[in-house]
Structure 1
Amino acid sequence: MSEEETPLPERILDGLDPEQRQAATALRGPVCILAGAGTGKTRAITHRIAYGIATGVYTPQKVLALTFTTRAANEMRNRLRVLGAEGVQARTFHSAALRQLQYFWPQAVGGSVPELVEHKARLIAQAAGAMRLSNDRATIRDLAGEVEKAKVSMLTPDTYAEAHASGARAGGRAGQGPADLPGGHDARTIARLWQTYEEIKTDRHQIDFEDVLLLTVGILEEDERIAATVREQYRHFVVDEYQDVSPLQQRLLDAWLGKRDDLCVVGDASQTIYSFTGASSRHLLDFQRRYDDATVVRLVRDYRSTPQIVDTANRLLAARRPGADSVPATWATPLTLVGQRPEGPLPSWNEYDDDQAEAQGTAVRIQDLLDDGVPPSQIAVLFRTNGQAQAYETALADAGIGFRLRGTEQFFRRPEIRQALLQIRAGANAVAPEDATEDVPGAASDTGGANAVPQTVRDMLTSLGWSPRAPRVTGAVRETWESLAALVDMTDRMAAAHDQAVRAARAAGTEGPGEFTLRHVAEDLARRAAQQDAPAVEGVTLASLHSAKGLEWDAVFLVGLTEGLMPITFAETSDEVDEERRLLYVGVTRAREHLTFSWSLSRTPGGRPNRRPSRFMAEVLPDRSSRASARRRTGSAHGAGPAASR
């Protein structure tokens, strides 16, 4: 039977492994997919949705797929489109809730919908000022995070202090003192600050992101007519990264479901790393107890990493031992991954004299990979805290290696990007669309003029800080250049794709695409900005372990692996150390082929070598104790040996 003759449902299932196929064909009732890192969970759930639509079990518009990032939602929509499953709503919890809140607010509450405050730090600072509290930037950021965590944990200013004292707050410890809270404030002070913040919002008719969820929950729980309308609209739910849901998100999900159980959750308790934001794996761990008839599928075939890296990740989790203070049922039995890729190099490690030597040595090894043909965009340096980034920015800049810093301000909110979009839009709108190719600088012609559009974009961005060569400095200047360089690269790719489409049409004797102009660039950027779909920035990625979740690279350097950084100093309880172990596990499983661990013995050159490697290193690098010192080209790295893999 030819591919065209094969029924669509069977074509959708083609290429899935047995476990993925089991997940994709479990269409009704509660379904729990336990998916290890790199096991194709997004593939499984998108094929499940597409298969449900192809078999007539699902109506596309009645499926709501929930993710935690806009990027993940965009990826899911794109995959569903390729599978012919358009019409499915793939959104973040906040996006789905905000859409419903805006629609139902007039009939549920009346009047205009409050203005959404995207960043609460400014209002928190005003509340702190009104109370004559310290309002330095770092403290305000931490206070805003504390308020967010309390709200998603379903606390209020009235219940916060008591919950804090009893240890009821998710992820908290009973008996925490002021030193454990932002700015050294006690719980009652933070509760008053929170109340003041809420009063400021109310006076200004504003709400924050947590309010979006809280208000939507309130409307659905209090108005049966509206709840019935929403439940009629959405009949089937899929929740990705279920180990990261907060109590508030779970309550919203329950309100959407009502008494139904057409719910598919996907997650991995071993990748629970956001408890500091109120996320909890308890809902994933309790899923089978809540739904005793649930279908459970385990995805353990790792298609991302080499067997050597997979074995290292398995060892890291298997070495965990419960402590006397471990809270029961917070650590799930890890999935044992099975590598599916061909054999690769053994993970390696480096011990350096100091932080500067570690950064320089890492840059040397990155250059080795670049010389071997590994693209810079497929290399990442991952660290525990953002404060570690500066040394690597400097080392890479000194080595002439391009880099991008992930986890900073959102791409389309950066001042230089906003200015660039304004300039490009103004250029595209300078004349009427029908005259664009005649009057707009950089307009394409049928003789290959698409190449002029990238030059026009370059000319526009030069005034904002772009140059043909990357600046050999770090900080704001370098970040601005990297952002603008991403727009240049995106334009180049668009022009190349257009030229290729023109050539293909000519070869086939068919009508090709219209002329490529600056308007195409402006429209694509507008679409990307609306979807927060940032163009890729070419260069080595520098990122914290937390911001690396959900990403992957050919080569990963895990740096700064000393006691006090991994696990972090404030991880005092056994459960908190467990989360640090999971965080390192996430870092390990980001690598496809090359994985390097490193640490330094001293903070500064010439300092006392009083640091100790992370306790986790003895578990993943069993050959380290018998190493022979080996000086590398930096003259300051020791023991650059492979980790035993099996």
Structure 2
Amino acid sequence: MTTTTTTRPDADSVLAGLDPEQRQVATTLEGPVCVLAGAGTGKTRAITHRIAYAVHSGAYVPNRVLAVTFTARAAGEMRTRLRDLGVAGVQARTFHAAALRQLQFFWPQSIGGTLPNLVEHKAPLIADACNRLRIPADRTRVRDLSAEVEWTKVMLVDPDDYVRVAAAAGRGEPGGLDLASVARLVRTYEDVKTDRAVIDFEDVLLLTAGILDERPDVAATVREQYRHFVVDEYQDVSPLQQRLLDLWLGGRQDLCVVGDASQTIYSFAGATPEHLLDFPRRHPGTTVVRLVRDYRSTPEVVGLANSVLSMATGRHAQARLELIAQRPSGPPPSFTAYDDDVAEASGVAARIAAEVRAGRSAKDIAILFRTNGQSQALESALADAGVGYVVRGGERFFSRKEVRDAIVLLRGGARAALPGHDLGTETRAVLSSAGWDEKAPTAGGATRERWESLQALVVLADELAEKRPGAQLSDLVDELVERSQAQHAPTVDGVTLASFHAAKGLEWDVVFLVGVSEGLLPISFAETPDDVEEERRLLYVGVTRAREGIHLSWANSRTPGGRATRKPSRFLDAVRPQAAPAGRRAGAVTPAGARTKRTSGPLLCRVCGASLTVAVERKLGRCTDCPSSYDEAVFERLREWRSATCKAAEVPAYVVFTDATLVAIAEAMPGDTAALARIPGVGPAKLEKYADDVLAVLAAG
């Protein structure tokens, strides 16, 4: 086996390229640290560089660092980034994976015998418990009761206290059963597990916490092993996970947590941001760092995201982070109403097909929805449009037969490979024997899916060769084995279909949010104010998945010819045009989040004569999609002046003037202060500060 070598960076080089806040995270190595990180602000970069800087500077020993997150994919990505930074030996795992490893090691000496088998799914056990209690159990009821059993365990609710706690929490009637019946089922479920000698995933955390609590010697061993802790996505920690984390720490303060209360979308499963919000109080002396520079999305997407949260209420809203876009400007968000669900699916598919024809890779596009039931119409529409797609949450990539077979072939090729051969060329040669070809098949369906799976392996090989010059087939096999264990699949070239929840942590160039209507977002069963606010946060998560383009749509009725009884989501009230002239696309949102303004009389577009209802259009005096009359050279001089002004004042560009205001100035070409004052967006304070400079820039042209 050929071994590749990578250059080990020094501590200072690890800090290169970090912004001031990220650098503060990376260099604050002692005491409790709380990182409030908005979407797209580089939190994973900050914490992996923190670990790497600590290791390279000698402050941390790698195998004494435990970094925990919530998905195997995220843990795998963290390990990959650390390896690229020259750090090996750090334990980057999910809560469950870290606990299971400890449980397997300490069970024989603490409990004795063999650890019971771990079951992946509760459904068969729940069904058995229902049978014992003579409760009819169809698939839906079993699913709902499985979720409720999981909730009781992550919330540390004893079956004897379940009725009281569940009533106080407003749990309703899980699975259509009264709370007393659910309490009996929870007890019976535990009996079923005992009879079958099995444990579930929550038991892994409960049993590990129990051993650490009852065996001081075991707790001392774990605390000696792990001295430094990092917890990602801390807003999603449940009471059970927090209990385990406290036992790992044992009162120590060497903990860094990272999270964003505005991305709390798993409350139904026991996640609570209270641990994040209360962290400074529970850990006196905490260093709090806020990451608000958004490197993922354009100002237009960031503005929409900020606007979605602008009307939020409750404690989460008080902790919201106002993101500041760092990327150049992009296309405005679009809002589209369709007659029905079928028309919406067809319309979205047609727009995506146009994007692909224009050169956009399908893998850089996603369609997000609130419920999985919305997927079918979209799948059919994409198939009719000839666009490939991948349903996230479907069959796992590494479970596909063609992928398993390809890894076997690659392993065999690695044993026979001669050192020094190009990894990409070798990979293509091996996979050609599995049916891969340089050209994608014209056929769709299973043939296309098989090719896309193999193509994803080819792309991964090219990426590995670029990151690690000299990498060989054996290194690709090792990478695939690690990714398989973490379920960190490479990107398949197809449009991603996913629920809002499944899209958390991912990003695409262009995102279509469909079904943004009352009853779907917020979902109809979101009855309490807290429930509705979580739905608002779900929309925020969906918007912040987009790098460049964001398109929101809804259908006026469910079926063709049905009554148009649906209404756009209330969450769009602050950001979408309330009325657009017939035949016109719904208007755009400015980087700051355009809002509809009610006026005493209509303001008409000076180009086409249409009524202007959106703030940005009223500022411009024309529709955003009508041609502009300004001189590009003048506009660029204004932008250069603004750039120098905001740099000197150390404020974001929009604090001086927004792009829309600069366009309005360039179009109007005011010759004096009075004319400049008549332009919307140039108030008295800005007039006093900037009038002379702006007029000088205009006069210079």
TM-score category (smaller protein): 0.7 to 0.9
> Per the alignment, do residues 151 and 432 of structure 1 end up closer, same or farther by CA in structure 2, a change over 3 Å counting?
closer
Q: 1:450 to 1:599 in 2, by over 3 A?
A: closer
Q: Does 1:589 align with 2:544?
A: yes
The question of 1:492 aligning with 2:458 is answered yes
Verify the 8 A CA contact 2:403 2:454 in the aligned structure 1: no
User: What SS class does the counterpart of residue 560 from structure 2 fall into?
Assistant: coil
Give the counterpart of 1:570 among 519, 525, 535. 525
2:350 corresponds in structure 1 to 364
Letter matched to residue 211 of structure 1? D
In the alignment, what sits opposite 1:239?
Answer: 231
1-structure distance, mates of 2:330, 2:582? 24
What's the counterpart of residue 508 of structure 1?
Answer: none
Alignment of 1:249-328 (within 5 A): 249-321=241-313
1:491–1:18 Cα change, 3 Å: closer
1:380 corresponds to 2:366: yes
The separation in 2 between residues aligned to 1:286 and 1:136, in whole angstroms, is: 41
Following the alignment from structure 2 to structure 1, what is the Cα–Cα distance between the partners of residues 85 and 14?
7
Task: Pick one of 597, 612, 629 that aligns with 2:582.
Answer: 629
Q: Structure 1 pair 26/499, CA: closer, same or farther in 2 (3 Å)?
A: closer
Letter in 2 for 1:629: A
Q: State the one-letter code of the partner of 1:468.
A: P
1-side partners of 2:27 and 2:414: how far apart? 52
Aligned residue identity for 2:14: I
Match of 1:353 among 339, 344, 363: 339
Answer whether contact 1:404 1:482 (CA < 8 A) is retained.
no
The correspondence for 1:539, drawn from 494, 507, 511, is: 494
Pick aligned residue for 1:342 from 328, 339, 346 = 328
Count of residue pairs the alignment pairs up: 582
Structure scoring higher RCO (CA < 8 A, sep ≥ 6) equals 1
Matched, 1:88 2:90: yes
Please tell me whether Structure 1 or Structure 2 has the larger radius of gyration of its CA atoms. Answer: 2
Aligned-residue offset at 1:645: 3.8
Cα distance between partner residues in 1 of 2:35 and 2:356: 38
1:36 is aligned to 2:9:
no
Match of 1:128 in 2: 130
Is the contact made by 2:232 and 2:258 (CA closer than 8 Å) also made in structure 1?
yes
Residues 150-189 of structure 1 aligned to structure 2 (within 5 Å)? 150-165=152-167, 167=168, 172-173=169-170, 177-178=172-173, 181-182=174-175, 184-189=176-181
Q: CA RMSD in A?
A: 2.9
Rounded Cα–Cα distance in structure 2 between residues aligned with 1:571 and 1:259? 38
| Residue matched to 1:639 | 585
Sort the Cα spacing of 1:452 and 1:280 in 2 relative to 1 into closer, same or farther, 3 A. same
1:598 paired residue among 535, 547, 553: 553
Q: 1:91-138 CA deviation, whole Å, 9 max, x = no partner?
A: 000000000000000100000011011111121112222222232222
Cα distance in 2 for partners of 1:304, 1:386 equals 26
Matched, 1:212 2:204: yes
Matched, 1:468 2:441: yes
The alignment partner of 1:276 has SS state of: helix
> What's the secondary structure of 1:620's corresponding residue?
coil
| CA 1:253–1:429: 2 relative to 1, 3 Å | closer
Q: Which residue of 1 aligns with 2:390?
A: 404
Does the 8 Å contact 1:384/1:545 carry over to 2?
A: yes
For residues 307 and 218 of structure 1, do their structure 2 counterparts lie closer, same or farther at Cα, with a shift above 3 Å needed? same
* Aligned counterparts of 1:362 and 1:196: Cα–Cα separation in 2: 48
* Alpha-carbon spacing, 1:203–1:57, altered in 2? closer, same or farther (3 Å): same
The match for 1:530 among 485, 488, 491 is: 485
Q: What does residue 67 of structure 2 align with?
A: 65
Displacement, 1:452? 4.1
Counterpart amino acid of residue 566 in structure 1: L
| CA distance in 2: counterparts of 1:265 and 1:197, whole angstroms | 34
Match of 1:326 in 2: none
Which letter maps to 1:582?
R
The one-letter amino acid of 2:573's match is A
The question of 1:548 aligning with 2:534 is answered: no
- Structure 1 residue 12, shift from structure 2 partner: 1.2
Give me the whole-angstrom Cα distance separating, in 2, the residues matched to 1:426 and 1:29.
47
Contiguous gaps of at least 5 residues in structure 2 = 1-6, 593-701
Go from structure 1 to structure 2 and tell me whether the alpha carbon gap of 1:565 and 1:130 turns closer, same or farther (over 3 Å shift).
Answer: same
Query: How much does 1:51 deviate?
Result: 1.2
Letter in 2 for 1:574: P
Distance 1:482 1:229 in 2: 52
* Paired residue secondary structure (2:498): strand
Question: 1:287-346: CA deviations, max 9, x gaps?
Answer: 011112100000000000111111111111111245xxxxxx454331111000001111
Show CA shifts across 1:440-470 (max 9, x none): xxxx9999776442232128x9xxxxx9345
Output the amino acid matched with 1:133. Answer: I
Q: How far off its partner does 1:590 sit?
A: 0.6
Give, as a single letter, the amino acid of the residue that structure 1 aligns with 2:589.
A
Identity of paired residues, percent? 55
Does structure 2 conserve the Cα–Cα contact (< 8 Å) formed by 1:402 and 1:470? Answer: no
CA distance 1:406–1:430, change in 2 (3 Å): closer
* 1:7 CA drift (Å): 8.8
Asked whether the equivalents of residues 70 and 232 of structure 2 are also in contact (C-alpha less than 8 Å), the reply is yes
Tell me the SS of whatever aligns to 1:457: coil
Paired residue secondary structure (1:352): strand
Contact kept in structure 1, 2:300 and 2:331, CA below 8 Å: yes
Deviation, 1:431, is 11
Contact 1:124/1:140 (<8 A) preserved = yes
Between the aligned partners of 2:447 and 2:237, the Cα distance in structure 1 is 36
Q: Does 1:615 align with 2:581?
A: no
Q: Of 9, 15, 23, which residue of structure 1 is paired with 2:25?
A: 23
CA displacement, residues 486-532 of structure 1 (integer Å, 9 cap, x when unaligned): 43113433676799999x9xxxxxxx777x6xx99876654432232
- Give the AA of the match of 1:86: A
> Once structures 1 and 2 are overlaid, which stretch shifts more, 12-21 or 393-402?
12-21
**Do the aligned residues in 2 keep the contact of 1:242 with 1:267 (CA within 8 Å)?**
yes
Instruction: Answer whether contact 1:302 1:339 (CA < 8 A) is retained.
Output: yes
The SS at the match of 1:458 is coil
Which segment drifts farther, 312-321 or 204-213?
312-321
Structure 1 residue runs of 5 or longer lacking an equivalent are 323-328, 438-443, 462-466, 472-477, 505-511, 631-637
Q: Which moved more, 1:291-300 or 1:81-90?
A: 81-90
- In 1, the alpha carbon distance for the partners of 2:575 and 2:215 equals 54
Checking the alignment, whether the CA contact within 8 Å between 1:567 and 1:577 is kept in structure 2 is yes
Distance 2:132 2:29 in 1: 54
Q: Which amino acid aligns with 1:394?
A: S
CA deviation profile, 1:201-230 (whole Å, cap 9, x unmatched) = 112211111000000000000000000000
Is the 1:25–1:48 contact (alpha carbons within 8 Å) kept by the matching residues of 2?
yes
Per-residue deviation at 1:269?
0.2
CA separation of 1:148/1:81 partners in 2, compared to 1, >3 Å: closer, same or farther? Answer: same
Secondary structure at 2:562's aligned position in 1?
coil
